[in-house]
């Protein structure tokens, strides 16, 4: 059985969600790639920021 960490699961979710957002929201390939990367960076950075926030709240 494959056991993924929480962070790996977040990266997979961010990747798949960003691909779907890019395909459904933009019309040209260049715009799709740019928007997909933009969404992916926002997903991952918000998860990292939220995890640090939870770390400092717990301390």
Q: Is residue 44 part of a domain?
A: yes
> Whole-prediction pTM value?
0.87
The average confidence (pLDDT) of the chain is: 95
Please state the domain count of the chain.
Answer: 1
Structure tokens at 30: 């260049």
Q: Is residue 34 part of a domain?
A: yes
**pLDDT tens digit string along 1-36?**
788 999 999 999 999 999 999 999 999 999 999 999
Q: Is residue 1 part of a domain?
A: no
Q: Is residue 37 part of a domain?
A: yes
Q: Is residue 22 part of a domain?
A: yes
User: Going by C-beta distance under 8 Å and a sequence separation of 6 or more, which residues neighbour residue 56?
Assistant: none
Helix spans in 1-59 (H): 6-25, 29-58
């Amino acid at each position: 059985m494959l056991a993924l960490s929480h962070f790996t699961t977040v990266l997979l979710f961010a990747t798949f969600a960003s691909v779907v957002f890019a395909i459904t929201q933009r019309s040209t390939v260049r715009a799709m790639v740019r928007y997909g990367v933009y969404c992916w960076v926002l997903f991952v950075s918000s998860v990292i920021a939220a995890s640090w926030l939870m770390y400092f709240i717990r301390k």
